[in-house]
Structure 1
Amino acid sequence: MNEDLIAKYNVPTPRYTSYPPANYFHDQFTNEDFEKAVIASNETQPQNLSFYIHIPFCRHLCHYCGCNSYPMAKDEVIAAYIEALKKEIRKVLPLLDKNRKISQIHYGGGSPSSIPLHYLKEINELLLSQFSCTDAPEIAIECHPGYLDENNWMELIKAGFNRCSIGVQDFNEKVLKGVNRRPSLLNMETIFGLLRAHGVSINLDFIYGLPYQTVQSFEETLQKAVSLKPDRLVTFSYAHVPWVNKAMLILEKNGLPSPQEKSGMYDAAKRILTSNGYQSVGLDHFVLPDDDLNKALQSGQLHRNFQGYCTRKTTGQVYAFGVTAISQLSMAYSQNTKNIPEYIQKMNDGEFSIIKGYTLNKEEQIAKEVITTLMCNNRLNWKELSSHIGVDEADIKHAISYSEDSLAEFAKDGIITYSPEEIKITPEGFLFVRNVAASFDPLMKGNTKLYSKPV
């Protein structure tokens, strides 16, 4: 990677897992606003239903984590939390059109695999009893392999999960110890054998940019990963945001790799994975050629929500349940309280627990489509986008911060190629797609909010 490009473009920039980013949500968004948004979502696209379940508990808190996670609670608190989750689900589902179909259920955290697993089966059964499903819906869970034995993996299979994202993060135990993460209880070959025998798709998740990682050590981790042949590999760039999680300051003491070293890790990952038959998808995913994500990318149909990349077929509006959970509807976002006792009490009182959210105006809905399309597909065809959202090309450009000067600057630096019809991110500019997206964002003018850096 050109060090001049890193110096120029490695500046704090939104990740754009949502538009607007979550730090724009405000506390004037009320429970009533949420209920109205849910009802209105029945008349907007996409029509498929995606459900997100947030399990906040972890047996140990990793120092690098930027998620909404909490130390493991007592059994009675977990039981009360799950009962509150069910009450929230039962409060939302009657607001949804029964003719809509489930295309995705996703569990995140925290470590959703850290609690008694029968609870997850009960929640799946509750959701699936209320709606029919699309063909091959994705029922996915993020798993911490440090605490799962063979019986636990079998419980997940019996609960109906057909995709497991296994949070390996690194195979190097020195790295894991430095970030307070426990290595896998079982060897990966055993886990793969169990899941493969029951037709479960497997993601392996890794993080680069952690203390004690080097380009060579990360190469060794990925060589081991490709030998297992998972369906998807994800290589997340560590986002250093100590104002979100003060434990990240511990990582500073242990020593974080430089941006140049991180760039080398990403380059090594891409070289190893693509030479072993994986296709690069989005910012951080690598998939096999026949994977639906790759097919969606090739046809310009790749999408993303807070849970990660997905196809437009799988993607639905996301109805999220649990403490801190964020619902992602076509015209609004809403987030639940971060306080577990408060969440439980609100559910017991028959109330929603919204603490903040955001309603998008027409221009912001257009900007959302522009930025999401570019971030997911590494290209932006104005005619295709116009057809997809039913807005004239001129009106699209008027709604965003469209600047020929900015595009010319990116092109001069080799970040993009562009014509009046289309913008494409170059292979050299791939790490800086966030910068290009930000150039279209009207909200970035005079912005003083805090973000992580691309590299």
Structure 2
Amino acid sequence: MKVPQNLINKYNTPVPRYTSYPPANFFSSEFNSDDYSEWLKQSNDEATQNISIYIHIPFCPKICHFCGCNTHLTRDTNKMQVYVEALKKEILMVKNHLNPNRKVSQVHWGGGTPNSLPIEMVEGIMQVIHNNFTFIEKPEIAMECHPALLDETYIEKLVELKFNRFSLGIQDFKQEVLDNVNRDAPSIPIEELVRMIRSHKNTSVNFDFIYGLPFQDEKSFSETIDKAIALSPDRLVTFSYAHVPWVKKAQKILETRGLPEADKKLAMFEAGFKLLTENGYNAIGLDHFAKPTDELDIAFKNRTLHRNFQGYCTRETTGQVYAFGATGISQLDSAYAQNVKDTNTYVQLINEGKLTIEKGYVLSRSQKIIRHVINEVMCNYYISWEEAAQMFQASVAEIKSTINYDEASLNQFVSEGLLSYTDDEMIVSDSGKFFVRNIAASLDPGMKNATQKFSKAL
């Protein structure tokens, strides 16, 4: 599918990614650790009872120039151990606020580079989780892994710790691309790592790629996706590189090496989209692809796909997110809370018996309505106004008056073939999926006077 150049020019504007609503750059420092303690207790009485645990490991042995995450360059295992001990204490502190009858449906390790930790440290954290929480029958336990730091022994140990999903951050198969973004290539071929993971029962493999980096073009990215298809991962993600040098100064290095323009960047996505959808994968949400048997694709077909800071997920595995570690963001039904970013400050506060909240946000009823509408549009490309009204015990008129429901804006999208709508529902078209962030932003009343900075849509 070829997206018209005039729409690329029009809609390649800064808009939120909407991994939360409101986005994280709306969080306030007025929200503190005492507030978090109260909302932790309140979360026990919210509609979403499942618990999702996020573990943030902020260490990397090497910093990639494209990285927008909170990371620290280190190979110091003593520093890692101090951090891990603090993280285990934080888990116990938060656990004391939670109803023991609630169950964990998801554990996600991100970073940084989680598998830069010695496996014994991973084991120590997982033991604390397993000893203090009960799980649903088939929880998702996942780790974002740097392939260059993965081997058969580490994989076997993770499986013993009940990890069942491995997300391999390949980013690109082209060595020139990896060299120019300061990323190490795997020492073990990816096909061998996949074989090692799949030698264990009930394990799933994800591949993560980034498009929009220096020395990438449509041809080279197509070759990368072709190679990925041959290895047949269960899921595959093609992330659009988010250039935010005002947040991550190291990204300025990439400007000197030639970042592709928006049209060339979109051509990479279109090429990958075409290859994947012609080879047994279905497009899920903004940037995911899954096999028809995968639970993500099933959820998408049933219009029950969900999204949080960790990515797309199903309603079955999604819970309120309780984040542990420096910079982790907890996503409760009614509040968000982010830990301090500095690891030394984080460790100090935890060792003093204090939670480490740096900022957060309490959602009003209106904002929960907006969040639901935007989530449905971003995840399922569909919104039923009647279903939304029933969820919030409101009228359809109230739902529409709460969001920025503007028929002039909607009609503009309709004229461009990006969506269709009636009094009862709104459906994003196949072409509109490329601009779903823009469509979501048009429904967001918070964007009218927003002063925050965002990455561009494409």
Please confirm whether the aligned pair reaches a TM-score higher than 0.5, indicating the same fold: yes
Alignment of 1:319-338 (within 5 A): 319-338=322-341
Deviates more, 1:32-41 or 1:424-433: 424-433
What is the CA deviation profile of residues 274-324 of structure 1, one whole-angstrom value per residue up to 9, with x for unaligned ones?
111000000000000011111111111000000000011110000000000
The question of whether the paired residues in 2 share the 8 Å contact of 1:214 and 1:261 is answered with yes
1:19 is paired with a residue of what secondary structure?
coil
What is the aligned counterpart of 1:62 among 64, 67, 70? Answer: 64
What is the aligned counterpart of 1:113 among 112, 115, 119? Answer: 115
Q: Are residue 361 (structure 1) and residue 364 (structure 2) matched?
A: yes
The question of whether the paired residues in 2 share the 8 Å contact of 1:30 and 1:356 is answered with yes
In structure 2, give the amino acid aligned to 1:235. T
Match of 2:124 in 1: 122
Alignment of 1:12-161 (within 5 A): 12-161=14-163
1:121 is paired with a residue of what secondary structure?
helix
Distance in 1 between residues matched to 2:173 and 2:157, nearest whole Å: 25
Alignment of 1:191-210 (within 5 A): 191-199=193-201, 200-210=203-213
Distance in 2 between residues matched to 1:136 and 1:72, nearest whole Å: 35
In structure 2, give the amino acid aligned to 1:163. R
1:338 is paired with a residue of what secondary structure?
coil
The question of whether the paired residues in 2 share the 8 Å contact of 1:121 and 1:160 is answered with no
Distance in 2 between residues matched to 1:15 and 1:230, nearest whole Å: 25
What is the aligned counterpart of 1:454 among 446, 453, 457? Answer: 457
1:342: how far off?
A: 0.7
Match of 2:378 in 1: 375
What is the CA deviation profile of residues 28-75 of structure 1, one whole-angstrom value per residue up to 9, with x for unaligned ones?
001110001110000112110000000000010000000111111522
Distance in 2 between residues matched to 1:40 and 1:451, nearest whole Å: 31
In structure 2, give the amino acid aligned to 1:374. V
In structure 2, give the amino acid aligned to 1:137. P
In structure 1, give the amino acid aligned to 2:252. L
Q: Which runs of 5+ in 2 are unaligned?
A: none
1:388: how far off?
A: 3.3
Q: Are residue 227 (structure 1) and residue 241 (structure 2) matched?
A: no
Match of 1:214 in 2: 217
Match of 1:4 in 2: 6
1:80 is paired with a residue of what secondary structure?
helix
Distance in 2 between residues matched to 1:292 and 1:60, nearest whole Å: 34
2:333 is paired with a residue of what secondary structure?
coil
Distance in 2 between residues matched to 1:230 and 1:149, nearest whole Å: 18
Deviates more, 1:40-49 or 1:120-129: 120-129
2:48 is paired with a residue of what secondary structure?
coil
In structure 1, give the amino acid aligned to 2:207. L
In structure 2, give the amino acid aligned to 1:352. L
The question of whether the paired residues in 2 share the 8 Å contact of 1:118 and 1:159 is answered with no
2:78 is paired with a residue of what secondary structure?
helix
The question of whether the paired residues in 2 share the 8 Å contact of 1:242 and 1:248 is answered with yes
Alignment of 1:286-297 (within 5 A): 286-297=289-300
Alignment CA distance shift 1:81-1:395 (3 Å): same
Distance in 1 between residues matched to 2:294 and 2:393, nearest whole Å: 29
Match of 1:432 in 2: 435
Distance in 2 between residues matched to 1:30 and 1:192, nearest whole Å: 43
In structure 1, give the amino acid aligned to 2:99. D
Distance in 1 between residues matched to 2:321 and 2:294, nearest whole Å: 22
In structure 2, give the amino acid aligned to 1:23. N
Deviates more, 1:101-110 or 1:125-134: 125-134
1:149: how far off?
A: 2.1
Q: Are residue 314 (structure 1) and residue 317 (structure 2) matched?
A: yes
Distance in 2 between residues matched to 1:390 and 1:61, nearest whole Å: 48
1:452 is paired with a residue of what secondary structure?
coil
Distance in 1 between residues matched to 2:392 and 2:199, nearest whole Å: 42
Deviates more, 1:261-270 or 1:377-386: 377-386
TM-score by length of structure 1 reads: 0.99
1:447: how far off?
A: 1.5
Deviates more, 1:101-110 or 1:415-424: 415-424
Distance in 1 between residues matched to 2:171 and 2:322, nearest whole Å: 28
Q: Which runs of 5+ in 1 are unaligned?
A: none
Match of 1:351 in 2: 354
Match of 1:238 in 2: 241
Alignment CA distance shift 1:286-1:251 (3 Å): same
In structure 1, give the amino acid aligned to 2:446. L
Sequence identity of aligned pairs in percent? 48
Match of 1:164 in 2: 166
1:120: how far off?
A: 1.3
What is the aligned counterpart of 1:442 among 436, 441, 445? Answer: 445
What is the aligned counterpart of 1:395 among 395, 398, 406? Answer: 398
1:390: how far off?
A: 3.3
The question of whether the paired residues in 2 share the 8 Å contact of 1:118 and 1:155 is answered with no
Distance in 2 between residues matched to 1:97 and 1:393, nearest whole Å: 35
Match of 1:258 in 2: 261
Distance in 2 between residues matched to 1:243 and 1:59, nearest whole Å: 23
The question of whether the paired residues in 2 share the 8 Å contact of 1:124 and 1:160 is answered with no
The question of whether the paired residues in 2 share the 8 Å contact of 1:145 and 1:183 is answered with yes
Q: Are residue 409 (structure 1) and residue 412 (structure 2) matched?
A: yes
Distance in 2 between residues matched to 1:73 and 1:322, nearest whole Å: 18
Q: Are residue 269 (structure 1) and residue 272 (structure 2) matched?
A: yes
Distance in 2 between residues matched to 1:426 and 1:10, nearest whole Å: 18
Match of 1:175 in 2: 177
Deviates more, 1:15-24 or 1:439-448: 439-448
Distance in 1 between residues matched to 2:282 and 2:151, nearest whole Å: 31
